[in-house]
Chain A
Amino acid sequence: MTQQGDRSSQVKVNLDELLARVENDHELLCELIDIFKEDFPRLMQLLQQSVSRKDMRSVEAASHALKGMLSGLSVTQAAATASRLEEMAREGKTSGLIDVLRLLENEVAGLLPELDGYAEKAKP
């Protein structure tokens, strides 16, 4: 398993925090990653469509769900950005929404392969 100190600047996951949350249960970590990989692309797509339609209720719901998932896997920075999007949607702020979405997209780029790497190493 990759140690936090060895990770490059591309590392998205706070692995120490995540392992503490799953109480070092690697089997559970793999399960969570599987669930994440199944739900995350669908939610990102929903968020992108909602932003382009300026459907603020849907933006709020999708970014809220993403925030929960990301913070659940200790993807701290992206979770904070999703939270920002949720807040903007709740307040009806359309200005700058696309910029924050782009920021989130950047922050989660490469996340799935990174998670795959953890899952591979966590396998018994």
Chain B
Amino acid sequence: MKILIADDDGMSRRLLAKTLEREGYEVISVGNGRLALQQLSLPDGPRLALIDWMMPEMDGLGVCLEIRKHHERPYVHIILLTSRGSKQDVVAGLEAGADDYLTKPWDPGELTARLRVGQRILQLEDRLVEARDSMRFKATHDHLTSLFNRGIILDLLSRELSRTRREEGCTVVMLGDLDHFKGVNDTYGHLVGDEVLREVSRRLLASVRSYDFVGRYGGEEFLIILNNCAASKAIVRAEEVRNAIAKHAVQTIRGPLPITMSLGIFASRDWDLCLVEDILREVDLALYAAKAEGRNRVRLAKPTALSAGPNQQVE
């Protein structure tokens, strides 16, 4: 584990470094507070720090105060190491953001024991962050496919549409539906159906740019949001997505299955619609048109179709 030593006294630095290296730490030593802050601000910087109080350029309290301003960064466990040992000093050090306090000259045994306490706290923090991230992921992603879930993809659509209007750009929305998917479930069972959904999701993600969004809208329906995509490119991009699904059969435990997708497309630039519900209605109509015209195809929503409805229900 990396550990930072910040002390303007070269002897203290050397002595500490030796003790800590013996304990297996990867030691980084600096001689002032400014350099300490620099090291602790690096993305993969140390998360354990032994900081002297009185140092040139920035003192130990200054380092603590600066570090604690940045809640978004991984937590750094700071031990103030100083010859200032009065009660007021201890209180001032802890109030500034230090987690622990050791007075010089230190006892090597006590120092390493306190560092182990710091490590335990950091490990606990890591586990909490991991649990929080996992819960956040579960709350925003579909369990089966790991795509964005319906709630989140609709939020993202709303946000993207607002941004597009503000910047006078164009967002392309695609609603894709797997053709005859009910037949897959009925013939091969739901486990195979799940395999197909996972593979389709993987192909969808692979066929769009890293900053586009893909979400599971319903059972076998997927919503794809292409940010800053020219309306003229919408059909080409949708054909790429369709082809990514149809080109190769999906390998399943019951053998390869030919899977196709129909897509309705909506390019915001062509319309004067603001509400997500209106846009979903239009892209849904385009999807129905693609289904009605034979499936495994894409259809672009046209403004003239605003009030039109599907002639028939199709799967």
Contacts and interface: CB of A to CB of B under 8 A. Distances in A.
Interface of A: 21-23, 25, 28, 31-32, 35-36, 38-39, 61, 64-65, 67-69, 71-74, 83
Interface residues of B, number: 15
Given A21-B15, A28-B15, A61-B54, A68 B10 contact: no
B9 A68 contact: yes
B14 A25 contact: no
Q: Is chain B's interface secondary structure helix, strand, loop, or mixed overall?
A: helix
Given A61-B54, A65-B8, A71-B83, A32 B104 contact: no
A25 to B, nearest CB: 7
Given A21-B105, A22-B15, A72-B104, 9 more contacts: A23-B22, A31-B14, A35-B11, A61-B54, A64-B83, A68-B11, A68-B12, A71-B83, A73-B11
B248 interface: no
A115 B10 CA distance: 17
18 contacts: A21-B15, A22-B15, A22-B18, A28-B15, A28-B18, A65-B9, A67-B83, A68-B9, A69-B9, A69-B11, A71-B104, A71-B105, A72-B9, A72-B11, A72-B12, A72-B104, A73-B11, A83-B83
Nearest to B54: A64
Nearest to B8: A65
Contacts, number: 49
Contacts of A73: 11
A36 B10 CA distance: 8
A71 B84 CA distance: 13
Interface string B102-125: 001100100000000000000000
B61 to A, nearest CB: 15
Q: Which of A22, A74, A83 has the most CB of B within 10 A?
A: A22
Contacts of B11: 32, 35-36, 39, 68-69, 72-73
Contacts of B83: 64, 67-68, 71, 83
A72 B18 CA distance: 14
The 6 A-B residue pairs with the shortest CB-CB distance, nearest first, are A35-B10, A72-B11, A68-B9, A71-B105, A35-B11, A32-B11
Interface in B1-58: 8-12, 14-15, 18-19, 22, 54
Contacts of A83: 83
B14 A39 contact: no
A35 B10 CA distance: 7
